[in-house]
Structure 1
C-alpha cells in the first residue's frame, strides 16, 4: 500500500507541475508515470537500506 501511495503522490506532484507549466496531456501523463515509478524505487531503496542498517546493529 505504501508503494502505491508513494507512486500516486510523487507522480501526482509531477503531473500538477507539468499542468501548471502548460505541457501537453501526453507529457503530463508521461511525467506521472515516470516520477511515480521513481518515487516507488526511492522508497524501496530506503527500505532496503534501513533493513540492512537494522540487521547490522542487531548483531
Structure 2
C-alpha cells in the first residue's frame, strides 16, 4: 500500500508542477507516470537497503 501512495504523491506533485508551468495534458500524464514509478523505485530501494543494513535482524546481535 505504501508503494501505491508513494506513486500517487510523487506523480501528483509532478503533475501539479507541470500544470503550473503550462504543460500540455500529455506532459502532465507523462510526468505523472514517470515520476510515480521513480517514487516507487526509490521507496523499494530504501526498503531493501534498510533490511540489509538493519543490525537488529542479524542473528548475533
TM-score of the pair, normalised by structure 1? 0.93
Aligned residue for 2:3? 3
Instruction: Name the count of aligned residue pairs.
Output: 57
2: distance between equivalents of 1:44 and 1:3?
8
2: distance between equivalents of 1:10 and 1:23?
17
Larger helix percent: 1
**Structure 2 residues not aligned, in runs of 5+:** none
Aligned residue for 2:52? 52
2: distance between equivalents of 1:33 and 1:21?
18
The alignment yields a C-alpha RMSD, in angstroms, of 0.6
**Structure 1 residues not aligned, in runs of 5+:** none
2: distance between equivalents of 1:30 and 1:8?
13
